[in-house]
Structure 1
């Protein structure tokens, strides 16, 4: 069995910049061998869902804007950079970039956290359509959708690290 420091080092970023989730899962004894994407995801998700509303909001706010300033400046985590590049968000036209910037600003203003979507398997057009639909949802529904997307992103990240079963 891996130790706490190694576990947190390895999985503390699965939920964007939120190692407290991995720490709590490990400390509660919810991490067991053999570690698979599914079992680690279950342990981490349990503690993400048990976190306070403010803590979960902090996890949402730790996510970067899609095709935003951090992406342009090269300040994304390696996982976020790969995920956004895989969806073509690093190759937007000036008009597409302007639209993403406009939607990002409006979404954060309305909801208090960035638009979050698991981009794997999606194109920039798929993401833009989802963005344009979801920006019309109420804050409570978007909080629920964003937390579901964060959990999906975490599972995708874990399946890149660990065997699935």
Structure 2
């Protein structure tokens, strides 16, 4: 992966422009990494993922909750004016969430409502490589988690999504 078109380290602005979407609608993560300083070693997706994850982990619960709440609902009815990011649209399509049967769609809607009511943020799972049945099963199972367990699980899934996005940027 190159983090810039030249062998040199990119400017903070160029870095944020490229990696600001790795964490859903949260360019502050890339901004914090850039502010800490960039090195050629950050061209390694694993290193960059670890640095970005550390920023989120150090951000505190309120900022983490804000990050979780910025994620879209799976197969959700979007709020007025809300759109999926290109990354989320592609990820949901990879799991064929855009091809739900009416029964699956109704199940996702019910689970979204139950999950939001219980935890106060949307269900988050790295859908890449999963089927709709896998996602629905995980969704139903995780509804039974204690709130703190689910908060941690959701953050871990956010980090998985970020890593998948970083790997995609490395290829692209």
TM interval, shorter chain, is: over 0.9
Give the aligned partner of residue 7 of structure 1: 15
Give distance in 2, aligned partners of 1:137 and 1:42.
26
CA deviations over 1:87-130 (Å, ceiling 9, x no partner): 01000011110110000011011001000000011000000000
Q: Equivalent of 1:53, from 53, 61, 69?
A: 61
CA deviations over 1:137-158 (Å, ceiling 9, x no partner): 1110000000000000000000
1:43 paired to 2:48: no
CA shift at 1:70, angstroms?
Answer: 3.0
Give the aligned partner of residue 32 of structure 1: 39
Q: Which runs of 4+ in 1 moved over 3 A?
A: none
Match of 1:131, SS state, is: helix
Give the aligned partner of residue 115 of structure 1: 123
Give the aligned partner of residue 144 of structure 2: 136
Give distance in 1, aligned partners of 2:20 and 2:62.
18
CA deviations over 1:1-23 (Å, ceiling 9, x no partner): 10111111111110100111111
Give the aligned partner of residue 70 of structure 2: 62
1:99 paired to 2:96: no
Q: Unaligned regions of 5+ residues in structure 2, if any?
A: 1-8
Q: What is the RMSD computed on CA atoms of the aligned residues?
A: 1.5
Q: TM-score, normalized by length of structure 1? A: 0.93
Give the aligned partner of residue 154 of structure 2: 146
Q: Unaligned regions of 5+ residues in structure 1, if any?
A: none
Q: What count of residue pairs does the alignment treat as equivalent?
A: 161
